[in-house]
Amino acid sequence: MLIRETGAQLMVMDGDVPAIETGAPDFQPSDQRWTPVRVNGVLHDGDSVELGGAKLVAHLTPGHTKGCTTWTTQVRDGNGTLNVVIDCSASVIPAYRLVNDPTYPQVVQDFEKTFRVLKSLPCEVFLNAHGNSYGLEEKYAKRKTSPENPFIDPAGYRAYVADGS
């Protein structure tokens, strides 16, 4: 619907193209389905995309999906620059099989890669595809009453990564 309503282009990491274009997960048994969407651009690890004057860098962080993409960018804050990490998701869905899954035999190695990448990224502002992963509601509420920006949270990012690794 978003693409239809806005004319947006869909760019996806190469590992997720089959799932996006077929409308079904390409590993793990699942009854989850969605409307198939044509991918306009295939991304690879390290590719960058410019959007509204911002440069975003795509980092392959597989495991949650084969092409799970974590984005990094920098934003100006006063006289300084902050490193932003928008994590795809490092969560293991309860239905996943991590051992002997013929549909995704390298899933454990992919999660290991993801945590190596996440540990290597400088981060002052941590965002995620799932708001509960970084305390979105709490930070938003605190932002209304605090002179400090709760979204600047390098310790929260390090804790998130350490908790998952």
The whole model's pTM is what? 0.90
Per-residue pLDDT, averaged over 47-65, amounts to: 94
Percent of the chain with pLDDT over 70: 99
What average pLDDT is seen over the chain?
A: 92
Of 112, 49, 53, 41, the residue nearest 86 (C-alpha): 49
Distance, CA of 61 to chain centre: 8
Report how far residue 83's alpha carbon sits from residue 150's, in angstroms, rounded to the nearest whole number. Answer: 15
Report the C-alpha gap between 113 and 39 in whole angstroms.
25
Q: What percent of the chain has pLDDT over 90?
A: 71
- pLDDT of 135 reads 92
State the Cα–Cα distance between residues 151 and 105, nearest whole angstrom. Answer: 37
Superfamily of 45-164 according to CATH: Ribonuclease Z/Hydroxyacylglutathione hydrolase-like (3.60.15.10)
Residue 165 has pLDDT above 60, yes or no: no
Q: How many residues does the chain have?
A: 165
Give me the pLDDT at residue 93, please: 75
pLDDT confidence bin for 160, thresholds 50/70/90: very high
Q: What is the rounded CA–CA span in Å between residue 3 and residue 109? A: 33
164 or 78, which is more confident: 78
Per-residue pLDDT tens over the stretch 87-118:
998 888 777 788 888 888 999 999 999 999 99
Q: What is the maximum alpha-carbon separation in the chain?
A: 52
